[in-house]
Structure 1
């Protein structure tokens, strides 16, 4: 902020006296302009302390001269006496008093250049103080970012530095954290967020910040993300931001972006490490897996374990798994949890509701509602760490049943009551059935061979019972079965052949 006229007047070496405009001495002085022109206003920007000896001023021109200066918005007028005028003309004093323009008397012994140097020194000192304040604020923001609360602490600190409010938003515009009245103000930011997204869509990359004002407050909105928009933050207050405060806001944006990117990279690295450990465990390298975990300061949960196989969106399933041992593998995500929490984690993975709170290592799912990961989930039975591979096989079989059935979560133990077909992979079983029965379906127009075979096997090879079920003569059925045996190349009296055919017909 520029020094005020009062600060300049109080510089003892200058010896300035205030004749008019005592109530306007808080005006900022942005520069000093020396001019003897009758109308210097074309060369002024406003906010200057104009210095003159009045060489071109007289009683007739004094009033219009002051009015032009006031219209231009100068900070004040300094009149040097002892050169063109021994005293300040009364007409000039009257015009300044009438318009409220601060009029300063500059003694003969004070050179105008001394006033210019004094104002320049004050401006430099003010700029230095602003830079110092900016560095101090950035230091406080940095310390906040390094604390346990990270981005949330930066938002809190920013609101205090500005004396206003601040809010952190996710990519969709939902509030992640707010300070002051940030949560309330966030509701009005939707159009601005859309505008920033539009800029990104037209130009590519991350859009620039956006500032706007209302009669009640001034607001700055910035996107977060190094390569693409991954969130937003906004800050506002009732008065305009100074250049220093804009610098502080920009520093907060950089820290929030770093925190966001580092947090994602850290989470990705942790998932990669857990995935590697999980692969060791599934391969039977339990001791190697335990050793890797110990070096990371973690350990495998004690007691029986359960393996879960989650379908649906892999990203959502990994997020739902939280800090559990999870890895995306093919078209499903494999998760290992303590057997006691298998049901709760499975429900969370399926998007059916929050996982219940649980203790022990890797309980990251606990206590969070994890919707959005909706998809089928297969749960393997309790196994020891050395048996995780078998647990994964069970989980995959249960997942296959979940994908083809009406239940989002299927446990391997439940498959025993669903018959042999529940243990088969639906895709493989369908392909097997189509290939085995194809000769019967392609046999001319005699599509009744399939149903005849089904009735024959259902009646356990009893001709009369099967013929009665079909409504045909038993000799007709015998003929059909001889023809089916020839087409299939199988002995229908062989129990193994009968079993395969029955499975194919059931599928």
Structure 2
């Protein structure tokens, strides 16, 4: 049985017990690495949780984090110091209070080494002496995904791929990957034609699938899937660290306050960029979803409130039809995830000094997407009329004031007389000020149309045949 005590007895791990000496008999069933600020959705009973404490920022942060581990029933926490002083005192106190054995990991010890040793120990518990192939595969546990897949393909003697639930090919040893649609979500593995597809474990809403070009099942494929899961967790930690560094920029960008100039200067960006905003019903899925949609770009991410923001460089690799690609991927991933109420907005390209305006454009595109009433929708700012974007950027109070100042007399007349001159004016302007076209659209005689426009002009105190006046009135109508 692999227990917490077992880990302390492995000389090469050099881990030191900080608290929980009476709990060393706890059995370890699995291992999970996390730096999430709220791991409650992802940890489970019997797990050894590894953490570099990147979520810890100040005293007091540990209570909620450690209590979530206790509620999940984890076996122990193995952590490396959050700073040069080692594990913070409040982490030690919280683990003692919530009865979580706390093991301190030496700063120079890779989590991959711990993972390899725990996996080997668990395999021995199951009565399976690790084969040479498994040992060689486990030796790449700390390697990047492409290296891991190459080693897996060599040991399995078959081509391997990792597919995202969005249909994206995350990585592979040959270009021709099977479609993710072949995978059946309600099965542990799917065998179709000459391929085996099995889920990559992990606590992500959007799944990854390991595909192997063999119709035969093999325990080594399951081992590879587990190592891919750890590789994904490591990549997520790297992304979250980058997100934390970019947090001031997104806070200033989304809030309209803060020192945006300083945040822009620290971003180091000099090329044109676009802003992408994703919004979901519960807000929790948005960051992961946006990261998947922008996975093949050079992007920075940040979450502000319930929205996830992305700033992506526009270079020769940026696809001009990105919005269509995003729609297709959202449609594909709906087999695995409920995307009800997902809205994505994309701004046009700007230089970094135009980021705030681009963020407002992307936010308005999100609003347009949400109003479409579809399960998920993607809208690009270029597809929205300029006057709508200009109006959307104005505060609600200003829009109401503008509407009342320009249209107040006409609105009051319609309300008092039961007429609909406001609609007549709107149709007239939308028909390029053509009395004939407007009369046809309203199913009235052209002379009746001219009379109504003359009466509306009198009530407004404006000349509706003047172009500048027409612009003002139309913007007021659309506000």
TM-score normalised over the length of structure 1: 0.40
The structure whose RCO (Cα within 8 Å, separation 6+) is larger is: 2
Specify the structure having the higher radius of gyration (Cα): 1
TM-score (norm 2): 0.42
